[in-house]
């Protein structure tokens, strides 16, 4: 058998194995399991929805997975999950990034002079020194971003191939070190932004093609609450493929010791460094009953790209439940898990303005599913108004109002009314909180390590399915921005991540609505 056919056969067998793992590991199977008994309702519904949208998604960039949604199914080994401010997380990531031997790929959305950039510059300097010392080939560094400034956006190349940056502008325009200090590195830098709203929003790092970091933070001055997860295994190939199709392409590019405070162990499995900086490690242990043995097995994982769109599909007079978002893998998967949730939904998102998400949350509540949301009351308000025509606070008020309507059925309401159709069972509990910094907000430069806003993007369904990545549950992420998410099917991982975030949220949230007390 030819080598390429052997490789294809191995990949197909691996996907079949993962599908079997998904069916056995995920407890929602129930009566909705596919007839062949091999797929969970989530993966079956997800793949079916993507297949039905093949013609529309075929125009996306990238779209390599369009004709084979199963190709997005993979596995991963999880190494750690960390929370904290962006600069804190970059500081904790420095040792891993400095371990790069051959190639470091960094994709982010926003690039700005900041503590994070200073830390990254130090990483580049050490990598360069390592390459020079060993006297072999240079270490490749590929930097990709979308947003630098308002002027950069206005005058950016209109092509999806983007624009590159010569070494002569690295210092002045990008805040990087002088190229003469980085002679051990082969650096290429590229940005992509498409007017009016198509920002490339994913954030990820690939180290030597062997390990991936999936953070929520940019290289930015914003001291916000963030998180990242590190992983290895077959999922790395998914990131490599996405990077190669969108960022690398075949367009030639112009080439030319940080100490961490010792922590105090607050509870088993997770370490609390203070200022919402927590770290949960997943050691490779096969010991039965281990507290954290997530790393012992390959976790069923789904790679979830969401290509950019230029058409925002504004429909101001369309009912929320009839607003249709582009059927990207990420959008489709989120709607699928919200629909399949049976017990609980946990959401943490910077903003909440996407009509399909709000409608799906209301329907889940009407089925008796408990929903807990942590979001921001006043984050990027102007951007929300421009891209969504509303704000998170207004969307929250509307969601609460609609929830109260289904909680107190009105016999006189017409049968065609959406809330009436959803009120056949006792609604689940709804709790919505706004993030607030401990000891109150601080001006820029005075944060002293305390996060000022929440920028983490996390969805957990029934404490079984965890989704992390760049996608907010707002209109911009769902209709125009390029996004990237990853779904993990593992209860221990989901519970551990939720526990780490809960620890960080102590003293940093204000409940604005709790149905147990407010209905």
Domain boundaries, the chain: 3-74+284-518, 76-278
CATH 3.30.870.10 fits domain 3-74+284-518: yes
pLDDT at position 425: 80
pLDDT at position 267: 44
pLDDT at position 295: 47
pLDDT at position 252: 42
pLDDT at position 519: 46
Same fold, 3-74+284-518 and 76-278: yes
Q: In what helix (H) or strand (E) does residue 361 lie, and over which residues does it extend?
A: helix 355-366
pLDDT at position 9: 55
What Cα–Cα distance (Å) separates residue 128 from each residue in 135, 183, 313? 11, 6, 46
What Cα–Cα distance (Å) separates residue 208 from each residue in 139, 213, 388, 405, 430? 10, 12, 39, 54, 44
SS3 70: helix
Q: In what helix (H) or strand (E) does residue 513 lie, and over which residues does it extend?
A: strand 509-514
CATH node for 76-278? 3.30.870.10
pLDDT at position 18: 52
pLDDT at position 277: 84
Q: What is the mean pLDDT of each run of 10 residues along the chain (519 residues)?
A: 56 53 46 40 85 90 92 95 96 97 97 96 98 94 94 87 95 97 97 91 97 97 96 97 90 38 50 84 54 62 93 68 88 96 97 96 97 94 83 95 86 52 77 95 90 97 97 94 97 96 96 85
Could you tell me the two tokens for 183?
Answer: 């002679």
Going through 25-109 in order, the beta strands assigned E by DSSP cover 73-84, 103-107
pLDDT at position 7: 54
Half-sphere exposure of 501 (CA within 13 A, CB side): 29
Taking the C-alpha atoms of residue 449 and residue 484, their distance in angstroms, rounded to an integer, is: 27
Question: CB of 82 within 8 A of CB of 273?
Answer: no
């Amino acid at each position: 058998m030819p080598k390429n056919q052997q490789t294809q056969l191995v990949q197909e067998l691996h996907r079949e194995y993962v599908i079997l793992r998904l069916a056995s590991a995920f407890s929602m199977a129930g009566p909705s399991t596919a007839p062949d008994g091999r797929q969970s309702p989530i993966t079956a519904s997800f793949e079916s929805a993507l297949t039905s949208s093949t013609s529309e998604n075929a125009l996306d960039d990238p779209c390599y997975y369009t004709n084979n949604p199963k190709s997005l199914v993979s596995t991963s080994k999880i190494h750690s999950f960390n929370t904290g401010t962006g600069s804190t997380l970059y500081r904790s990531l420095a040792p891993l990034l400095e371990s790069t031997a051959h190639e470091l790929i960094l994709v982010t959305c926003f690039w700005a002079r900041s503590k994070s950039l200073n830390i990254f510059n130090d990483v580049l300097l050490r990598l360069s020194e390592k390459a020079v010392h060993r006297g072999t080939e240079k270490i490749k560094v590929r930097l990709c971003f979308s947003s630098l400034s308002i002027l950069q956006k206005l005058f950016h190349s209109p092509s999806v191939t983007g624009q590159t940056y010569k070494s002569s502008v690295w210092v002045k325009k990008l805040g990087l070190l002088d190229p003469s200090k980085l002679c051990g590195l082969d650096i290429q830098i590229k940005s992509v932004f498409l007017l009016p709203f198509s920002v490339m929003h994913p954030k990820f790092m690939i180290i030597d093609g062997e390990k991936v970091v999936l953070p929520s933070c940019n290289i930015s001055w914003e001291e916000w609450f963030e998180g990242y997860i590190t992983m290895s295994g077959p999922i790395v190939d998914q990131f490599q493929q996405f990077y190669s199709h969108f960022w690398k392409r075949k367009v030639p590019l112009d080439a030319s010791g940080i100490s961490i405070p010792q922590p105090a162990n607050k509870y088993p499995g997770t370490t609390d460094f203070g200022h919402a900086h927590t770290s949960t490690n997943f050691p490779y242990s096969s010991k039965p009953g281990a507290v954290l043995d997530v790393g012992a097995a390959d976790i069923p994982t789904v790679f979830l790209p969401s290509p950019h769109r230029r058409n925002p599909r504004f429909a101001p007079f369309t009912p929320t439940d009839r607003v249709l978002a582009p059927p990207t893998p990420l959008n489709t998967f989120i709607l699928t898990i919200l629909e399949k949730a049976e017990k609980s939904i946990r959401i943490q998102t910077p903003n909440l303005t996407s009509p399909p998400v709000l409608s799906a949350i209301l329907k889940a509540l009407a089925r008796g599913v408990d929903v807990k949301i942590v979001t921001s009351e006043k984050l990027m308000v102007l951007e929300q108004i421009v891209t969504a025509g509303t704000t998170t606070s207004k969307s929250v008020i509307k969601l609460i109002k609609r929830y109260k309507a289904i909680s107190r059925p009105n016999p006189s309401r017409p049968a065609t009314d959406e809330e009436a159709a959803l009120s056949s069972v006792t609604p689940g509990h709804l709790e919505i909180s706004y993030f607030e910094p401990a000891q109150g907000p601080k001006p820029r430069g005075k944060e002293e390590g305390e996060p000022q806003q929440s920028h983490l993007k996390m969805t957990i369904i029934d404490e079984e399915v965890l989704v992390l990545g760049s996608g907010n549950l707002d209109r911009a992420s769902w209709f125009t921005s390029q996004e990237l998410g990853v779904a993990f099917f593992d209860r221990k991982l989901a519970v551990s991540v939720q526990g780490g975030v809960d620890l960080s949220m102590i003293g940093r949230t204000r409940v604005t609505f709790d149905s147990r007390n407010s209905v």
